[in-house]
Structure 1
Amino acid sequence: MFTFSGLPYDANMPAIVWALYLVAAVLYCSPMTIGFIRNVEYKWPLYFGNLLAGWTGIGWAYCLYYAIFADREHAPSQPVALAA
């Protein structure tokens, strides 16, 4: 049976692993976050596309590309009312 008894133990290893998980989660969610902040036209399909195909890498790269370069949703323009 293989054991790790001969290897040095680092007490900070769990913190490092959790920090790496946090960084990976932030990177994985970045296309969704960018898409919602920019208010892109198809933000909900972007959200579900990233959840379902983002793990492939190619799907994540496409979602990131779309989130950055897609057109923004056209909000109805409202006239600005100046104080009378």
Structure 2
Amino acid sequence: MKIPVHFAPDVKVALSLAPMTLRASIVDMLLDLGDDPTPPDAVPYAEIPGAYELIMPTFRALYTYGPDDVDHLSIWVLHINT
């Protein structure tokens, strides 16, 4: 079941400043987290329960998800590699 993915205001700003093709690919990858919140590339972040870090060649994202009764995923930090 796909869960909603929420973007923090600073994440939206970072995305708006990225070139359109890069922005589209990043948004697609982030929205895919709604289908699989913990893909193989995601690792737990620090020792914060439910916090994950996703490092890809084009971006780094920090997000929270869980426990099971939470019905959304929140992306808090996005660093785009340009």
TM normalised by structure 1 equals 0.33
Greater helix proportion = 1
Query: Which of 1 and 2 has greater Rg?
Result: 1
Higher relative contact order (CA 8 A, sep 6+): 2
Higher share in strand: 2
TM-score, length-scaled by structure 2: 0.34
